Structure 1
């Protein structure tokens, strides 16, 4: 199996994006972390694109459902930004929330960035998974609402308020100070027949510093991928694309579900490399024969 021999960012051709203009369609402040990160690591010029309401592609407050996958939504945003700007390179970000892969009882945040370069005919995708303050409560009084707000990191992290429950069509979002929050809670309690107010964290990027940090980390991951070049064709984005399973058990030698090699692939041509893992054997606890 080959070791990692592909070109890294010390090769001259890794500077192919220096001074290139890149379209970023966003209305939630993501340019504040994506732009500086990529400009520093790639030398490109990230340009914020306006003229399209990205909430039309889906909202975290559930008033507009997202169509397709997380990747589909990011790709659509990137394409719209490229069309509006007339640029041949575009980038877009899309977030998702669900069970944390390591702590299943806790929520997690996965941020995905896609880079589309029509000059080379490539798409490069990068992600970052991390913690989140995603949460909600059903409060019956201002005191309960205040306790919840403090637990979520308010006012640095904004909140959304609805009367009755999570399905009520009326809402107030963008709540970023105690005066506006108390006013919204009073409004919701007065409007709700059951005298309950549903409060949830505002997961839009500009309203959630924890999520914004995950977006920044995803941008770093993207830059690393874009400075990793295919040994065969020189295209950016040569990186981990899968695993070969079957690492032998340390006790009996039977193949396990653990990875024995990584598959690094080009996003442009068919070239790939098998990269051996540091371990030669898997723990017996992963063996179906020794630990059925």
Structure 2
């Protein structure tokens, strides 16, 4: 039996099984409205119960307004949130979401949103990570008056997408957030201008989940990816999360036959034991343009 056939048979078997998390409670620490989409997607896909934990200020893990810096990586922050939620709820399963924003990794021009979901199951001793990335309205602008402020707000999807306003620049310690109406926005711009030493106002998009519908869509996509991973069981130990963990490079060049950096197979591995299989990709050869030998 080929590895591809083995994985296809495994997937069919898994889809026929009842989720191992059906009826189980999962701690989710959030104060930014993530419980609604995660409860909907994970509840439907896994049959679990998302227990919203709210009695902790998650801003202590870092804020998008930069008044509190995030310590460590995106994964570190998600792990800290998940662990705190598990501690407060006394549950053995925890879930956390953490977003990151920056330039698109391909074009380096358009803004990019990477959403990471971390699932921790202390009973099984596993961590499962799922991500989704895509379009975002992440942006900012310094403006001299309300006319330009209004133009930026419209381009950012306001008022559905909330905004943050500061005097002068991004480093000013005072700011107004939770801006979701035109009246509140104009009042905030006037306030910032009254405090500004340069006659300018710094406006930026509010990237908290409840304040940003575009980001919320990416969180839902990450949740769907997590359901898919947790629905795939290891054929050796039965643990959830038997999914792609890496690639094998070395796809031969179509002209010279030398191995390239292009992937030739995907690694499907267990998060608990050493079980893994390789799934060959459909492409048999890499384009000569991707060959270091043909294009030194």
C-alpha RMSD over aligned residues: 1.0
Q: Does 1:66 align with 2:70?
A: yes
Taking the aligned partners of 1:20 and 1:144, their CA distance within structure 2 comes to: 51
Cα displacement (A) at 1:3 = 1.5
Counterpart secondary structure, 2:6? coil
Q: What are the superposed Cα offsets for residues 222-251 of structure 1, whole Å, 9 maximum, x if unpaired?
A: 000000111110100011111111100011
Q: Does 1:255 align with 2:256?
A: no
Residue in structure 2 matching 1:150, options 154, 165, 187:
154
The aligned residue for residue 26 of structure 1 is 30
Taking the aligned partners of 1:195 and 1:240, their CA distance within structure 2 comes to: 52
Q: Which runs of 5+ in 2 are unaligned?
A: none
Taking the aligned partners of 1:276 and 1:150, their CA distance within structure 2 comes to: 47
Instruction: Report the count of equivalent residues.
Output: 291
Residue in structure 2 matching 1:239, options 223, 228, 243:
243
Residue in structure 2 matching 1:10, options 15, 19, 22:
15
Taking the aligned partners of 1:110 and 1:32, their CA distance within structure 2 comes to: 19
Q: Does 1:41 align with 2:42?
A: no
Residue in structure 2 matching 1:185, options 173, 183, 189:
189
The alignment's TM-score, normalised by the length of structure 2, stands at 0.96
The alignment's TM-score, normalised by the length of structure 1, stands at 0.98
Moved more, 119-128 or 14-23: 14-23
Taking the aligned partners of 2:286 and 2:54, their CA distance within structure 1 comes to: 51
Taking the aligned partners of 2:292 and 2:104, their CA distance within structure 1 comes to: 26
Taking the aligned partners of 1:53 and 1:154, their CA distance within structure 2 comes to: 26
Q: Does 1:133 align with 2:155?
A: no
Higher relative contact order (CA 8 A, sep 6+): 1
Residue in structure 2 matching 1:85, options 58, 70, 89:
89
Counterpart secondary structure, 2:37? helix
Taking the aligned partners of 1:132 and 1:97, their CA distance within structure 2 comes to: 8
Cα displacement (A) at 1:259 = 0.5
Aligned 8 A contact 1:4 1:275 in 2: no
The aligned residue for residue 76 of structure 1 is 80
Cα displacement (A) at 1:5 = 2.5
Q: Does 1:228 align with 2:232?
A: yes
Q: What are the superposed Cα offsets for residues 9-30 of structure 1, whole Å, 9 maximum, x if unpaired?
A: 3242x52111111111000000
Taking the aligned partners of 2:187 and 2:15, their CA distance within structure 1 comes to: 56
Residue in structure 2 matching 1:213, options 211, 214, 217:
217
Residue in structure 1 matching 2:110, options 106, 124, 131:
106
Counterpart secondary structure, 1:221? helix
